[in-house]
Chains A and B, each alone.
Chain A
Amino acid sequence: MSLKDKLLSSYIAFEDHLEEDSPIHDIRNEAIKVFEAEGFPTKKLEAWKYTSLNSLLKENYSIFPKQDHSLEFKQVKKYFLHDVDTYKVVFVDGVYSSFLSETTHDKIDVCLLSAALNKPKYKPVIEAYFNKAAKQDSLSSLNTAFAKEGAYVFIPNHKEVEKPIEIINFSTGNEAAIMLQPRNLIVVGENSHVQIIERHQSLSGNAVFTNSVTEIFAEKRAYVDYYKIQNDNTNASLIDNTNIWQEQESNCRVHTFSFGGKLTRNNLNFYQKGERCDSTLKGITILEDKQHVDHNTLVHHIEPNCESHQDYKGIFGDASTGVFNGKVVVEKEAQKTDAFQQNNNILIHDKATINAKPQLEIFADDVKCSHGCTIGQLDEEALFYMRSRGIAKKEARALLMYAFANNVLESVKIPELKVRINKLIANKIGVRLGFEL
C-alpha cells in the first residue's frame, strides 16, 4: 500500500474517534479531500522541481504511534536552552510529554493544541484563527486533516513574554519508521512580544518523516521572533510549513538554521495584511554528505509602506544539494514597499549543488525592491591572506565559512542561542576556534 493510501484509510479510522461536534470537523474533511485529489507533490510541479519526496515515501511509517514513550530528562537535556528559563512544549513521538514540558495559563497560554481544540473556552480563538493562514496545498491539507497535537500559544494584547518558548518534537526510534504531523497555532496580541524556538530531534537512526504546519498571527505592533533549529540526524526528514499573518506595524522575524537532516523543505510564507509591517527571513544552511535543504519562501506585500528583509547563506559540501526559491510579491496597493532579498552560496566540493531562483512579482510602481544571488567558492585571495599569517588551510577555510555565515547570527536576540548556533556551526565545519564570533 502506498503511503498516500495508507494515510487515506487511516484517516477514516482517525476521524471515527473524534467527536462529531469538534469545531474543525468540517475543516478536516475538506482538507483530506484536497490531499486525496493532489497527493504528495512530485517534481513535475514547478515548486518541487528540485526536491523529490520519493525516497521518503517508500518507508512504512507508523502514523499513530503507541503512547507512553517516556524519556529521561538527561537523555534530551542537551537539546534545551540552559542559561535562560523557558516555557517548554515537548512532544515525544507526537505525544505530549508533561514531564518534559513547562506550560502556563498565567495571563498567557502556552499549552497544547489538543486542549485548545477540545475545550469550549478556546473555541472562539480556534474559530478565528485555526487554518486561516495555512496554505491549502496538499501537504498542509494532509497536516490539517490529521491535526491533533502541537503547541498552542496565545498571548493577549500588551504582554511581553519574559521567557522564550521552546517547542521540541522528539522521536525516540521505538517505531521502525514514524510519520509525525505536529500542528502549532501561535497568536500574538497587539503590542505583545514573544520569542519561540522550534526544534525537531530524532534520538535514533530510524526513519522519521515530519510534516509540520505552524500558523502565526501577529496582531498590530506585535513582535514575533522565531528560531528554527534543524540539526536532526541523517535519517530524519522535515517538511516545515510556516505561515505568518502580520497585521499593521507588526514585526516578525524567522531564523532558520539548517545543518542536519536527510531532506528538509521549508515552506515559509509571510503575508503582510496591514501597513508598515516588517518581515525578516534569515537562514544559515550548512550541509554535507547527501543532505538536501530546500528553502521556499514567500513574502506577500499586500499593504503599503511595508518592509521585508531576506538573507540566506548556504555552504554546501560533499554531494549535498540546496534549493533557494525566494518569491516576493508586491501587490498594486503595496506602494512604498521596501523589499530586500539576498542569497549567497558557497560550494565547497565539485559534487555539491545549489539551485537558486529569486522571483520578484511587482505590480506597484513606487517601490524599492532588490535581490542578489551569488554562488561561488571560497575566496582564494582571502585564504592566502590568512595562511600567510600562519593560519593553516583548514582553519582558514573554516574561518572564512564562519565569516561568511556570521552576519546572519548578528540578529539572533537570545545570547545563549547564538552561542549554541555558533558551536553547531563549528562542529559542522569541523574545527575548533579559539574564540566565538
Chain B
Amino acid sequence: MLKIKDLHASVEDKDILNGVSLNVNAGEVHAIMGPNGSGKSTLAAVIAGKEEFVVEKGEIFLDDQDISEMDPEERAHKGIFLSFQYPVEIPGVTVTNFIKTAINETRKAKGLEEMPASDMLKKIKAKADMLDIDRKFLSRSLNEGFSGGEKKRNEIFQMAMMEPKLAILDETDSGLDIDALKVVANGVNKFRNKDNAVIVITHYQRLLDYIVPDFVHVLMDGKIVKSGDKELAYKLEEKGYDWIKEEVKA
C-alpha cells in the first residue's frame, strides 16, 4: 500500500531524513520508534505532505501512485490520515462542524454527494460512543481548551470518522493516562481491517501492548537502522537505543 524508497527530506536546508525506505502492506501495523530528533515526526509530516519540508530525493507511493508532489488535501482524499502529535486549536469551529466539513470535502473530491445529515449524525454518534466521547464535547471549539488526552481522543475520533486507508499516529500515546490509552487503542483496533494499515510512531513500548505491531522499525539520524517484530520494542524498552547505535557503527 505505502512504498517509500530512499526518502531524503530537509527543512530550511537542514537534512532530517537521510534515505528512509519502508513498505507497508494492507492489514499491517508498523511501529516506528527512535530517540528524540531522529526524524520520526518529520517522516509522518512528509508522508502527509507538509510543505515546509522539501523532499530532496526518493519516492512515496500510495497504491502504486506517486504522491510525493501532491497537496496535503489530495493525499487526505487518497486515504492518508495523520493524527497530530500537537493538534491545532481552532476556536470558533466546533468538532462536529469540522469533521462534517472534512468528510464532505473529501467526498466532493471523490465526486460523491455530501453525506446525508442523518447518516452523518448516526456515524458521529457511533464513533463518539466507541471512544467514550461525551456528546457535549462535540459542540466545543476544535481542540480549544482540550486536555492533552481529549486532543488525542479527538484525533482518533476524526480518524474513525474519515476511515482512511493509511493512518499515521504521531505520538498518540503522549499525554494519555492508562485508561485513555486503552480507549484510544481500542478505537484504533476497531478501525483496523485487512484493507487498511496503521503506522504508529512512539517513544514507548507501552502503547504497543495495546496496538500490537507486525513490524517495529528503529529510526535514527533520519534512517531506518533496524527492523524487527514486536520483540524489538521490548528490547528497546529494556535496553534503550545505545546498543543499536553500537551495532550501526560496527
Task: Tell me the A residues contacting B by CB distance below 8 Å.
Answer: 379-382, 384-393, 395-396, 399-400, 402-407, 433-435, 437
Is A390 touching B76 in the complex (CB atoms < 8 A)? yes
B82, A388: Cβ atoms under 8 Å?
Answer: yes
Contact A435 B92 (CB under 8 A): no
Please give, as numbers and ranges, the residues of chain A lying within 8 Å of B80 by CB-CB distance: 388
Neighbouring B residues of A390 by C-beta, 8 Å: 73, 76-77, 102-103, 105-106, 109, 162
Number of interface residues of B (CB under 8 A): 35
List residues of chain B with CB within 8 A of the CB of A379: 88
Q: Is the CB of B105 within 8 A of A392?
A: yes
Give the docked Cα–Cα distance between A93 and B18 (Å): 71
Contacts of A403 in B (CB 8 A): 90-93, 141
- Of B19-27, B43-51, B182-190, the stretch lying at the interface with chain A is B43-51
Answer yes or no: B192 CB below 8 A from chain A CBs.
Answer: no
Q: Mark B102-118, 1 if CB is under 8 A from A, else 0.
A: 11111001000010000
Given A388-B76, A399-B93, check contact A434 B101 (CB 8 Å).
yes
| Cβ contacts A to B, 8 pairs, < 8 Å | A385-B84, A388-B80, A392-B73, A400-B90, A402-B92, A403-B92, A403-B93, A434-B101
**B73 in contact with A391 (CB, 8 Å):** yes
In whole angstroms, how far apart are the Cα atoms of A132 and B87 in the complex? 53
The 9 A-B pairs of least Cβ separation, nearest first, read A406-B92, A403-B92, A390-B76, A390-B106, A387-B72, A389-B102, A385-B88, A382-B88, A387-B73
- With both beta carbons as reference points, the residue of chain B lying nearest to A381 in the complex is identified as B88
Rounded to whole angstroms, the CA-CA distance of A234 and B21 in the bound complex is: 57
Tell me which residues across on chain B come within 8 A of A386, comparing CB atoms.
Answer: 90, 98, 102
Contact at B93–A391, with CB atoms within 8 Å? no
Q: Please state if B158 and A389 are interface contacts (CB–CB under 8 Å).
A: yes
A384 CB contacts on chain B under 8 angstroms: 48, 50-52, 72
**How many pairs of residues, A versus B, come closer than 8 Å at their CB atoms?**
91
| Cα(A108)–Cα(B81), bound, Å | 60
Main secondary structure of the interface of A (DSSP, over half): helix
Q: A380-B52, A384-B50, A384-B72 are in contact. Are A391 and B101 (CB under 8 A)?
A: yes
| A435 and B105 form a contact (CB under 8 A) | no
- Apart from A384-B72, A391-B102: 6 A-B pairs, beta carbons within 8 A: A384-B52, A388-B48, A389-B81, A389-B162, A392-B109, A402-B92
When distances are taken between beta carbons in the complex, the residues of chain A under 8 Å from B81 are 388-389
**How far, in Å, is A164 (CB) from chain B's closest CB?**
25
Residue numbers in A under 8 Å from B109 (CB-CB): 390, 392
- Contact, CB under 8 Å: A437 / B93: yes
Which residues of chain A have C-beta atoms less than 8 A from B84's C-beta? Answer: 385, 388
B62 to chain A minimum Cβ distance, whole angstroms, is 14
Q: How far is the CB of B159 from chain A (nearest CB, A)?
A: 10
Answer whether residue B8 sits at the interface, using C-beta atoms and an 8 A cutoff: no
Does B100 sit within 8 A of A, measured CB to CB?
Answer: yes
B76 neighbours in A (Cβ, 8 Å)? 387-390
Contact call B105/A395, Cβ cutoff below 8 A: yes
Give min CB distance, A433 to chain B, whole Å. 7
Within the complex, the shortest CB–CB distance from B189 to chain A, in Å, comes to 22
Task: Give A389 to B81 CA distance when docked, in angstroms.
Answer: 7
Q: Which residues of A contact B102 (CB under 8 A)?
A: 386, 389-391
B97 on the A face (CB < 8 A): yes
Q: Give the residue name and chain of the B residue nearest to A401 (CB).
A: B92
Residues of chain B contacted by A437 (CB below 8 angstroms): 92-93, 97
1/0 per residue, CB under 8 A from A, across B46-82: the answer is 0011111000000000000000000111011100111
